[in-house]
């Protein structure tokens, strides 16, 4: 009995010794090799789609931010039944199962995307299916707390996290938070486990602060939409600029695009205020008047013969909507006489008008941060025809942007200084570094303060007695100018008889200017005049913006009157 016990004990001891020796061999001599093999089988280094820094308005309200989002992938080599997996995933994600099956069949590697940036409900549905060879990985997607507000301005971000348009593209490299690759684990069935979105240094570091006021942007877009519905116009643009600093407080454009719309072309991403080029029409008369007053070539009480509304010069006939005979230059501005301004342009000469136009920033980019900004169209005098001078004097044969017009009217409002439009205020980039944009950024002096004061009085007259009465804001003085410009027919290459651009440009309050507002409508139907279509949009935006900014009223409130006969259509 004792002998058998000793034999059994010896055998157990020898077995235990073999196990211990084997464990020692595995854990000590084979440790490095086995650890490497385990890591290769169970871990994979992955680089997530980059996180982008937040974009906020001037008050810190978020306009665009990044949130963690699961994306679904598959390893076709691990799919036991690809068609079944495709059917189940298609039902869970709303993807065509036949297309998924083709993707799995045609895959040449061990990784394919099934669908990226899932909703929480979709991610839960994928997890519930528990399919071998299918998993989730965390990425980041852009979230827009205000819906499509300022969509073209902010711009589009692709599925790979790169900016495609707008400010997202302009500051693509700076907004990206370039974090190093991280490990993801596979489970026993070969599925990659989702990364913990809170793991590591995921603090929302840095961001870009704009000069945009979210509330004013909303007002501008809402009133532009209402104006487009009333006028049945194709599209339009609105710019609101702070006269004191050059800050762009709102930049609205239509047609709109939605962040959720996957089928967009480049034209849908256009920032209308900086990329749409149009003939300004009578809103450009401000520049001709500024050049003439600055050069001492006209007085406000000087009389002009407006030829009864029809005048032939250099082989072309120039017409006014309302026939006038001999009237003062102030009245020429109020009724927006093309003939009066054509005569004034001829008096100035090509070089003087061209130099003043360039000084006001036309024919050059404003320098704002948005990509694709147009310089407009301004030919040098050597390329002008015999009719160019009189016609350009009232806003034809020149192409401008809404932002350029805003800069010109702001220069008059602030006493003669052309300012850089300030779209961005400051930034703290997530990868280090800070940036501040100076304010105000003065480009140059374009006219003397005395000239600016005279122009302001003329523009006030336009709103009080002339074509801009629909733009009057009860309680505040308004200085502004209407514009109605025929568009070039792309087929005939001549001015279209029924397609126009209607606009109103002005600043409020006229006597202590705070805001410049530009409203441009593309191809309004019916009554197409700028005063009738764009003027009311200006009035609505201005009234709400002045209240929003607590700007004191500077005159007794009065009802907006009906334009005088012959004074409301240009």
Helix (H, G, I), strand (E, B) or coil at 88: helix
Q: What kind and span of H or E run contains 393?
A: none
Separate counts of helices (H) and strands (E) for the chain: 18, 22
Q: Residue 424 domain-assigned? A: yes
Our count of domains for the chain comes to 1
pTM of the model: 0.84
Average pLDDT value for residue range 15-22: 72
Q: Is the pLDDT of residue 509 over 90?
A: yes
Which of 32-41, 201-210, 344-353, 401-410 shows the lowest per-residue confidence on average (mean pLDDT)?
A: 32-41
Q: Residue 376 domain-assigned? A: yes
- Cα dihedral: 451, 457, 462, 464 (round 10): 170
pLDDT tens-digit readout, 137-183: 888 888 999 999 999 999 998 877 888 899 999 999 999 887 655 55
Q: Residue 194 domain-assigned? A: no
Band of pLDDT at residue 185, cut at 50, 70 and 90:
low
Domain that holds residue 373: 214-548
Q: Is the pLDDT of residue 198 over 50?
A: no
CB 415 within 8 A of CB 449: yes
pLDDT tens-digit readout, 365-377: 999 999 999 999 9
C-alpha separations of 404 from 363, 400, 569 in Å: 9, 6, 24
CB 153 within 8 A of CB 370: yes
Q: Residue 126 domain-assigned? A: no
Residue 463: give its domain's CATH number.
3.40.710.10
pLDDT for the residue numbered 561: 42
Q: Is the pLDDT of residue 109 over 70?
A: yes
Question: Beta strands 51-52 and 54-56: pairing type?
Answer: unpaired
DSSP 482: E
Q: Residue 257 domain-assigned? A: yes
CB 106 within 8 A of CB 76: no
Average pLDDT, the chain: 88
The better pLDDT of the pair 34, 300 is held by 300
Q: Residue 455 domain-assigned? A: yes
The three-state (H, E, C) secondary structure of 483-540, written as one string = EEEEEECCCCCCEEEEEEEEEEEEEECCCCCCEEEEEEEECCCCCCCHHHHHHHHHHH
Q: Residue 358 domain-assigned? A: yes
pLDDT tens-digit readout, 217-250: 999 999 999 999 999 999 999 999 999 999 999 9
Q: Residue 27 domain-assigned? A: no
- Closest among 117, 136, 141, 111 to 126, alpha carbons compared: 136
Question: Beta strands 54-56 and 207-210: pairing type?
Answer: parallel
pLDDT tens-digit readout, 421-433: 999 999 999 988 8
CB 96 within 8 A of CB 130: no
């Amino acid at each position: 009995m004792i002998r058998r016990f000793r034999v059994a004990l010896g055998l157990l001891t020898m077995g235990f010794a073999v196990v211990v020796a084997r464990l020692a061999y595995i854990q000590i001599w084979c440790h490095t090799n086995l650890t490497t093999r385990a890591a290769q089988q169970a871990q994979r280094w992955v680089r997530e789609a980059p996180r982008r820094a937040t974009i906020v308005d001037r008050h810190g309200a978020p306009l665009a931010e990044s949130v963690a989002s699961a994306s679904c992938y598959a390893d076709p080599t691990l799919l036991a039944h690809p068609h079944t997996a495709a059917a189940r995933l298609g039902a869970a994600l709303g993807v065509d199962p036949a297309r998924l099956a083709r993707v799995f069949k045609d895959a040449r590697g061990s990784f394919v995307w099934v669908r990226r940036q899932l909703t929480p409900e979709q991610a839960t549905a994928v997890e519930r299916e528990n399919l071998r060879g299918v998993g989730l990985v965390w990425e980041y997607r852009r979230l827009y707390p205000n819906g499509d507000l300022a969509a073209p301005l902010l711009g589009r971000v692709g599925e790979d996290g790169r900016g495609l348009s707008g400010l997202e593209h302009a500051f693509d490299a700076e907004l990206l938070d370039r974090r190093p690759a991280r490990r993801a684990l596979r489970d026993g069935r070969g599925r990659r486990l989702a990364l913990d979105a809170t793991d590591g240094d995921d603090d929302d570091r840095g961001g870009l602060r704009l000069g945009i006021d979210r509330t004013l942007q909303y007002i501008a877009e809402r009133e532009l939409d209402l104006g487009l519905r009333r006028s049945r116009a194709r599209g339009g643009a609105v710019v609101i600029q702070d006269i004191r600093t050059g800050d762009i407080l709102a930049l609205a454009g239509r047609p709109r695009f939605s962040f959720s719309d996957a089928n967009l072309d480049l034209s849908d991403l256009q920032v209308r205020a900086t990329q749409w080029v149009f003939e300004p029409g009578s809103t450009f008369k401000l520049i001709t008047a500024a050049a003439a007053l600055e050069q001492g070539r006209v007085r406000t009480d000087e009389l002009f013969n407006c030829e009864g509304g029809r005048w032939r010069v250099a082989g072309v006939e120039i017409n006014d909507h309302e026939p006038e005979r001999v009237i003062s230059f102030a009245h020429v501005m109020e009724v927006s006489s093309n003939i009066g301004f054509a005569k004034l342009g001829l008096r100035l000469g090509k070089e003087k008008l061209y130099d003043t136009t360039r000084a006001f920033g036309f024919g050059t980019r404003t320098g704002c941060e948005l990509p694709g900004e147009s310089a407009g169209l301004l030919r040098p005098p050597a390329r002008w025809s015999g009719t160019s001078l009189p016609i350009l004097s009232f806003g034809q044969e020149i192409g401008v942007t809404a932002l350029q017009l805003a800069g010109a009217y702001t220069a008059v409002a602030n006493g003669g200084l052309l300012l850089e439009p300030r779209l961005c205020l400051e930034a703290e980039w997530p990868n280090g570094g800070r940036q501040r944009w100076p304010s105000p950024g003065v480009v140059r002096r374009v006219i003397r303060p005395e000239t600016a004061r005279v122009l302001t009085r003329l523009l006030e007259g336009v709103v009080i007695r002339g074509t801009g009465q629909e733009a009057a804001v009860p309680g505040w003085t308004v200085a502004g100018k209407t514009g109605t410009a025929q568009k070039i027919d792309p087929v005939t290459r001549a001015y279209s008889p029924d397609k126009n651009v209607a606009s109103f440009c002005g600043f409020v309050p006229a006597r202590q200017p705070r805001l410049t507002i530009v409203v441009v409508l593309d191809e309004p139907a019916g009554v197409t005049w700028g005063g009738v279509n764009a003027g009311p949009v200006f009035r609505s935006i201005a009234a709400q913006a002045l209240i929003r900014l607590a700007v004191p009223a500077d005159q007794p409130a009065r009802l907006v009157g009906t334009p005088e006969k012959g004074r409301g259509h240009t």
